[in-house]
Amino acid sequence: MLHAPKGLDGIVVTTTQISKIDGQAGKLIYRGYDIAQLAGNVPFEAVAHLLWRGRLPSPDELKSLKNKLAENRYVPNNVMAFLETAPRDANPLSILRTAVSIAGLHSSENLPALETGLILTAQFPTILAMYHRSRRRERLVLPRGDLDHASNYLYMLSGIPPKEAHARALDSYFTLLADHSLNASTFAARVATSTLTDVYSAIIAAVCTLKGPLHGGAPTEVWEMLQEIGEPLRAERWLNERVEKGERIMGFGHRIYRTEDPRSRILKSIAKQIANPKTFELASTVEAKARKILQARHPERALDTNVEFYSSLVLNAVGIPSDMFTATFASARVVGWTAHIIEQLSDNRLIRPSAEYVGPEGLSLTS
């Protein structure tokens, strides 16, 4: 039997028409379009249509999708009851996981995958904003049907309509994070789907997988690192100490990219426009110093910033609390999970790889 590389590194397990990563060139393509063309130029809702249906929407189709998302923003009463009584110090990803599970109990599990994915895409920001305001004992803010997806999320979090620049920044962030081929959470969603479980269950599997710090859990840690370093002059020493202890620098490195993550490049330019200039200067210094330190330690592979590094600056600048960064990431990625669930169902076979047994054999109870 062939040994699979640890972590399935480099193993192709399926075909997909949804997105393509060119790790050498540092490119990410959604259904034929470079993300650099999409982010900021077409609304996130149009990108959702592209990923789900394989093409950009006509103006009427876009209007109809925006309306459907707006109509589905309210969450079931039992989810509201949970959000209002949930522990105030819970991880928002755990809140999301449980809220999706409760929502699934009160919804039909037999809807087409696209419909369930659309409902969850509409409801993720509501779940997060309602939980956030509830844990702070603030007046709950109902969703507004006249606002687009990104603006409505920021509005529900703060209670005031967002600045145009912030809404556009979050819209671009949502586009950039919407899909990324067979990342760990998407793979989890596809594995669950291959058993013909329901879409709620597959999305919960994905949310749980995204929670880990080696995947989606990094931006909060990036933000904490920047707070701890505090000023550019302290960066080099802090980073060296960290690496010498054998610890990882969050927001650096990627399984597929052998150059800069293209999403990081775009998020850096957004961060430059909207983040606090001092924070941006600190982050740029940390980036330059960390790259040098990691290059010296690992000359065999490029360890550049990944999507999480500048995400933390963008999300902070638009007003998202740092412990909600990963859950906000999930609000974008639910679009990709849905697209992959639809694709898996369109030509399904149970995903069931093998393992090479290396344990003892031939033991006997009598010897």
Closer of 118 and 307 to ligand ACO (Cβ): 307
Q: Which stretch binds ligand ACO (CB under 6 A): 106-114, 128-136, 141-149, 215-223?
A: 215-223
Q: Which stretch binds ligand ACO (CB under 6 A): 54-62, 159-167, 304-312, 341-349?
A: 304-312
Q: Which residue from 285, 328, 290 is spatially nearest to 306, judged by alpha carbons?
A: 290
Candidate list 7, 32, 159, 230; residue touching ligand ACO; CB under 6 A:
7
Does 308 bind ligand ACO (CB under 6 A)? Our answer is: yes
CB of 11 to ligand ACO, least distance (A): 13
30 beta partners? 19, 33
Q: Which stretch binds ligand ACO (CB under 6 A): 15-23, 42-50, 74-82, 212-220?
A: 212-220
Does 303 bind ligand ACO (CB under 6 A)? Our answer is: yes
Does 258 bind ligand ACO (CB under 6 A)? Our answer is: no
Q: Which stretch binds ligand ACO (CB under 6 A): 81-89, 201-209, 241-249, 338-346?
A: 241-249
CB of 4 to ligand ACO, least distance (A): 14
Catalytic residues, by residue number, are 254, 308
CB of 17 to ligand ACO, least distance (A): 21
Does 251 bind ligand ACO (CB under 6 A)? Our answer is: yes
Closer of 76 and 238 to ligand ACO (Cβ): 238
Q: Which stretch binds ligand ACO (CB under 6 A): 16-24, 89-97, 232-240, 253-261?
A: 253-261
List the x/- string, 75-104, binding to ligand ACO by CB under 6 A.
------------------------------
Candidate list 248, 258, 265, 272; residue touching ligand ACO; CB under 6 A:
248
Candidate list 53, 255, 258, 265; residue touching ligand ACO; CB under 6 A:
255
Does 306 bind ligand ACO (CB under 6 A)? Our answer is: yes
CA distance 75 to 126: 7
Phi-psi region of 201 (alpha: psi -120 to 50; beta: other; left: phi over 0): alpha
User: Max CA-CA distance within the chain?
Assistant: 76
CB of 43 to ligand ACO, least distance (A): 22
Does 215 bind ligand ACO (CB under 6 A)? Our answer is: yes
Q: Which residue is nearest to ligand ACO (CB)?
A: 253
Closer of 155 and 310 to ligand ACO (Cβ): 310
Q: Which residue has the tokens 């054999």?
A: 361
Q: Which residue has the tokens 């998407």?
A: 186
Candidate list 43, 216, 262, 336; residue touching ligand ACO; CB under 6 A:
216
Residues making contact with ligand ACO (CB under 6 A): 7, 183, 214-216, 218, 243, 248-255, 294, 298, 303, 306-308
